[in-house]
């Protein structure tokens, strides 16, 4: 049976198999029984038949013998034989034969030659019988008579020979019954068997045969002598099957009588039973098939239904009601297991889909999901806004307060966006997307950003974060989800750069953004390679009163092989935002220390610009001290400038870091002073010794009376706090004169010198001093 055969075909096969097995067992048992019975019955019939035959044959022999004895003791006959009175002999023979209806009566001489013969009461022509009778004369005289079957003229005779003695033998009498068709038929009706008389090999025809059976059956009957009936191949359907016994007649062994019992009739009963059994089996097979099909529908059909249900579950259809048509407990259990499985799969899939589409922390949509939502919205082909909110200091919040607080901030923003009308998503650490259902104005967005910022403000920690907002419009700015998200991102990036709360995308931003990306990538590559594209330039600061030049500001230069000259005003803020400023600062410090060491000038002091991010590093101060030590230089050769806006933004930690630098012996300046709107009272608390008036107040000092007022005011207040003042951006003699008149201590600007490469510094100093002696300034 095929392993993959369906359950229903197996059912049917098993049922049909059982039926066929039962039927054939019945048939075999029946067959064996029938054969056995038939054999016993037939052999019994045969035995009886043989007895009957032998009795009747013996009786005939006895009759012949009696007649022969009477004849041989008939005195008249003996005398006639002795005298050769042939007439008397003939009449005596005729008389005696008539009495018993013998067919043959004859007289033979002592050598066995027939002398007189009467056949059926008629005188036979003895001259034709030239051959000697095949008679054993010795046996005849010894026994007194001989009984045998004798063939004469193509006929068989049951014969008796008896000697005629007077008192010595003088002749032999022969008397016989013809063994003919009548004999055979009589015997057949007497025994109820088929009777065949046959002699083989003695006549010219080579065969003598008489039978009560029709010529068709005779061969079967004769052939079945000694055969095993049960093995007969065509027993079942053939006709005229016999069991036969052969009895030898006469002395020569070639004459036999075959008695045959026909078993076909006995078998016919079995044949009927077989046909009936087969018919019943056939019916049962049909019944089994019907039953099989019914069982299939009862048992297998519900399984098929469950299978179909499982298939539809596999195809993602979880709505199918699983109720198989069967009502057995097993099926009901199975169905409920299926339903449970279906439910569980559905739940799990829901869960997986939820996870695939949502941000694990906030439960808002994730980037993939919001992308899909935008794509769907694009199909409506109507205006909508993609808005990005960016928690600007997310990285610092995580670094400073730990991830738990960072997560709290994110969740706070998410909670508000979730209940705002539209779709919201969190796409990265501190970046959120909102697709409002209603168009939002800049004012609306500023108000919302304020709400978000307030939500972030942790009660205990007072986190002052600010949130920038970027807006992209469909279809004006892009017509794919990916581009809309990217451009809203560029817009928020620009808002951050420009330090405005909201920015709507503009193509120009993209150029700036791309340029910034290029710069950042190039810078990162530069820092991780040995390439020598960075250099330090030094701009002198002149002491106003003495005209001495012993202080410089170190300014970084980047001549990029691929981007050309990149201004520090461009790449420093990028490096700060990308968190790689520290690496640059460390490089600057080492380079400056090396240059100072090379110049070997007395009294020199070089100011290095520190980014406010540098002040968050606890190791930079140590690094600086260690580098100075390497070159055996005192702390007095370096000073540091930190922008006012940087300090204003900073937390207490940065200010306490400044204290450490001051305590280490470094001079500190507040750079770009006047742009950060810090109160002088606050500046007083900082550990600095110098203010650098921003160049925006100095460049047009001559033209702008307000600038002059501001510069004077700064100088007056600085003097009160004991701080020195540096004016940068001095481009002309007039400005210089004004600043000198305000007693500003230090002057820095193109009027004195542009920033110089390190190799030019010594030469420049020498030539500057030479010019001083000529007095340049009057
Ligand atoms: P800053 O600290 O205010 O530096 C002074 C800037 O003014 C320099 O620009 C200098 O070249 C320029 N300057 C000097 N005199 C004049 C003048 O008479 N007229 C005009 N118009 N400009 C003058 P630079 O070198 O392009 O640097 C720009 C800014 O980049 C610096 O402003 C500073 O904030 C930053 N920076 C430069 N080098 C470094 C550095 O090594 N580290 C850090 N953190 N920042 C640096
Ligand atoms: Ca500076
Ligand atoms: Ca400055």
Atom of ligand 1 at shortest distance to CA of 610? 44
- Is any ligand 1 atom within 6 A of the Cβ of residue 611? yes
Ligand 1 atom nearest 536 alpha carbon: 41
Ligand 1 centroid to residue 508 C-alpha, Å: 26
At 6 the pLDDT is 72
**Phi and psi torsions of 428, nearest 5°:** -165, 180
The pLDDT, as a whole number, for residue 201 is 63
* Average of per-residue pLDDT across 300-310: 79
**Percentage of the chain exceeding pLDDT 90:** 41
Ligand 1 atom nearest the C-alpha of 751 is: 18
pLDDT at residue 587, rounded to an integer: 96
Model confidence at 767, pLDDT cuts 50, 70, 90, reads very high
Span 193-199, average pLDDT: 87
Alpha-carbon span 121 to 128, nearest angstrom? 18
The winner for highest mean pLDDT among 331-335, 453-457, 629-633 is: 629-633
Q: Please give the residue that has the higher pLDDT: either 756 or 404.
A: 756
Task: Return the minimum-mean-pLDDT range out of 12-21, 423-432, 730-739.
Answer: 12-21
What pLDDT does residue 234 have? 52
Interval between CA 643 and ligand 2 midpoint (Å) = 8
Ligand 1 pocket test target in 536, 555, 694, 752 with most atoms within 8 Å of CB: 555
Question: Which residues are paired to 557 by β-bridges?
Answer: 535
Kindly report the backbone phi and psi dihedral angles of residue 289, in degrees, each rounded to the nearest multiple of 5, phi listed first: -65, -45
Instruction: Indicate the DSSP class of residue 133.
Output: P
Mean pLDDT of 41-54: 87
Residues with Cβ within 8 Å of 601's Cβ and at least 6 positions away in sequence, in order, are 550, 762, 765
Close Cβ partners of 205 (under 8 Å, ≥ 6 residues apart): 154
- Distance from the alpha carbon of residue 615 to the mean position of ligand 1, in angstroms: 19
**Cβ 173 vs Cβ 146: under 8 Å:** no
Ligand 1: which of 728, 748, 754 to mutate, most ligand atoms within 8 Å of CB? 728
Quick one: average pLDDT of 701-711? 95
Q: What are the CA-CA distances from residue 89 to residues 127, 270, 282, 398 (Å)?
A: 17, 62, 79, 161
Q: How far apart are CA 272 and CA 387, in angstroms?
A: 97
Question: Average pLDDT for residues 747-752, to the nearest whole number?
Answer: 97
> Residue 174: is its pLDDT beyond 80?
yes
Mean pLDDT of the chain: 86
Half-sphere exposure of 657 (CA within 13 A, CB side): 21
Token code pair at residue 469? 């907002």
Per-residue pLDDT, averaged over 712-725, amounts to 92
Q: Judge whether residue 778 has pLDDT over 50.
A: no
Contacts of 422 (CB under 8 A, 6+ apart): 434, 435, 436, 437, 438
Point out the ligand nearest to the CA of residue 756.
1
Q: Which residues sit with Cβ closer than 5 angstroms to ligand 3, an ion?
A: 671-672
Going 220 to 221 to 222 to 227, the CA torsion angle's sign is positive
**Confidence check: pLDDT of 206 > 60:** no
Whether residue 278 has pLDDT greater than 80: yes
457-468: pLDDT as tens digits: 866 667 778 899
At 1 the pLDDT is 42
Q: Which residue has the higher pLDDT, 104 or 568?
A: 568
Contacts of 88 (CB under 8 A, 6+ apart): 76, 77, 79, 80
**Ligand 1 atom, smallest distance to 643 CA:** 34
Instruction: Give me ligand 2 centre to Cα 672, in Å.
Output: 7
Helix ranges (H only) for 101-255 are 137-143, 181-191, 215-223
H-type alpha helices, 358-402: 367-380, 394-401
Which residue's alpha carbon is nearest to atom 42 within ligand 1? 609
CA distance 506 to 515: 15
650-682 pLDDT per residue, tens: 667 778 889 999 999 999 999 999 887 777 777
Tell me what percent of the residues of the chain surpass a pLDDT of 70: 94
**Which of 16-25, 203-212, 551-560 ranks highest by mean pLDDT?**
551-560
Q: Assess whether pLDDT exceeds 90 at residue 369.
A: yes
How much distance in Å is there from the Cα of 609 to the middle of ligand 2?
Answer: 5
Residue range 279-295: mean pLDDT, rounded: 84
- Expressed in angstroms and rounded, the spacing between residue 671 Cα and the centre of ligand 2 is 6
The whole-number pLDDT of residue 2 equals: 47
Q: How far apart (Å, rounded) are the C-alpha atoms in residues 153 and 341?
A: 104
Is the pLDDT at 556 greater than 90, yes or no? yes
Band of residue 132 on the pLDDT scale cut at 50, 70, 90 = low
Q: What is the pLDDT of residues 469-491, one digit of tens each?
A: 999 999 999 999 999 999 999 99
Distance (Å) from CA 641 to ligand 3 centroid: 9
pLDDT band at 570 (very low <50, low <70, confident <90, very high): very high
């Amino acid at each position: 049976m095929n392993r993959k055969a369906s359950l229903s075909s197996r059912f049917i096969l098993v049922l049909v198999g059982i039926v066929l097995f039962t039927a054939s067992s019945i048939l075999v048992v029946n067959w064996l029984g029938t054969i056995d019975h038939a054999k016993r019955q037939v052999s019994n019939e045969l035995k009886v038949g043989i007895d009957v035959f032998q009795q009747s044959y013996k009786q005939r022999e006895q009759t012949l013998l009696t007649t022969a004895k009477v004849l041989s003791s008939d005195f008249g006959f003996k005398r006639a034989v002795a005298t050769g009175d042939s007439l008397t002999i003939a009449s005596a023979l005729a008389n005696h034969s008539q009495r018993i209806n013998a067919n043959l009566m004859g007289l033979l001489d002592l050598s066995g030659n027939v002398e007189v013969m009467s056949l059926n009461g008629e005188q036979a022509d003895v001259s034709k019988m030239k051959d000697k009778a095949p008679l054993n004369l010795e046996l005849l005289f010894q026994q007194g008579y001989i009984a045998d079957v004798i063939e004469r003229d193509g006929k068989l005779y049951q014969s008796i020979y008896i000697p005629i003695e007077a008192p010595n033998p003088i002749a032999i009498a022969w008397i016989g019954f013809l063994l003919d068709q009548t004999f055979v038929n009589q015997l057949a009706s007497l025994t109820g068997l088929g009777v065949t008389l046959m002699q083989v090999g003695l006549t010219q025809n080579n065969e003598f045969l008489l039978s009560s059976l029709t010529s068709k059956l005779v061969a079967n009957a004769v052939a079945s002598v000694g055969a095993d009936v049960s093995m007969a191949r065509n027993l079942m359907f053939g006709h005229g099957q016999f069991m036969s016994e052969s009895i030898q007649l006469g002395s020569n062994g070639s004459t036999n009588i075959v008695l045959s019992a026909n078993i076909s009739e006995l078998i016919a009963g079995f044949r009927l039973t077989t046909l009936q059994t087969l018919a019943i089996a056939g019916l049962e097979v049909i019944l089994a098939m019907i039953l099989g099909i019914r069982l299939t529908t009862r048992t297998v059909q519900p399984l098929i239904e469950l299978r179909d249900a499982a298939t539809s579950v596999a195809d993602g259809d979880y709505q199918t009601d699983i109720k198989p048509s069967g009502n057995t407990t097993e099926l009901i259990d199975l169905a409920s297991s299926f339903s449970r499985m279906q439910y569980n799969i559905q739940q799990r899939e829901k869960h997986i889909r939820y996870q695939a589409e949502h941000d694990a922390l906030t439960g808002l949509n994730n980037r993939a999901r919001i992308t899909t939502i935008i794509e769907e919205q694009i199909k409506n082909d109507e205006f909508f806004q993609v808005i990005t909110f960016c928690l600007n200091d997310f990285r610092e919040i995580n670094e400073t307060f730990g991830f738990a607080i960072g997560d709290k901030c994110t969740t706070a923003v998410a909670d508000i966006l979730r209940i705002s009308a539209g779709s919201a998503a969190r796409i990265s650490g501190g970046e959120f997307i909102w697709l409002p259902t209603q168009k939002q104005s800049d004012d609306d967005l500023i108000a919302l950003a304020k709400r978000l910022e307030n939500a972030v403000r942790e009660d205990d920690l007072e986190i002052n974060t600010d949130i920038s907002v970027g807006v992209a419009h469909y279809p004006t700015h892009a017509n794919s989800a990916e581009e809309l998200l990217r451009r809203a991102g560029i817009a928020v990036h620009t808002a951050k750069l420009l330090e405005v709360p909201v920015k709507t995308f503009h193509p120009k931003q993209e150029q700036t953004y791309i340029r910034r990306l290029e710069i950042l990538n190039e810078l990162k590559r530069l820092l991780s390679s040995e390439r020598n594209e960075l250099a330090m330039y030094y701009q002198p600061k002149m002491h106003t009163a003495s005209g001495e030049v012993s202080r410089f500001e170190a300014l970084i230069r980047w001549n990029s092989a691929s981007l050309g000259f990149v201004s520090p005003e461009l790449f420093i803020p990028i490096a700060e935002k990308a968190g790689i400023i520290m690496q640059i600062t460390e490089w600057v410090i080492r380079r400056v220390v090396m240059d100072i060491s090379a110049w070997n000038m007395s009294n020199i002091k070089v100011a290095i610009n520190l980014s406010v991010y540098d002040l968050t590093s606890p190791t930079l101060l140590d690094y600086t001290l260690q580098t100075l030590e390497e070159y055996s230089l005192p702390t007095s050769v370096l000073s540091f400038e930190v922008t006012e806006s940087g300090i204003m933004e900073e937390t207490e930690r940065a200010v306490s870091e400044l204290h450490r630098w001051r305590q280490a012996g470094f001079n500190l300046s507040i750079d770009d002073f006047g742009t950060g709107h810090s109160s002088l009272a606050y500046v007083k608390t900082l550990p600095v010794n110098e203010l650098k008036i921003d160049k925006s107040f100095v460049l047009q000092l001559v033209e702008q009376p307000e600038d002059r007022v501001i510069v004077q005011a700064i100088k007056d207040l600085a003097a009160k706090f004991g701080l020195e003042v540096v004016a940068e951006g001095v481009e002309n003699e007039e400005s210089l004169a004004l600043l000198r008149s305000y007693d500003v201590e230090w002057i820095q600007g193109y009027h004195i010198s542009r920033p110089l490469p390190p190799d030019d510094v010594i030469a420049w100093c020498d030539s500057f001093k030479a010019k001083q002696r000529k007095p340049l300034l009057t």
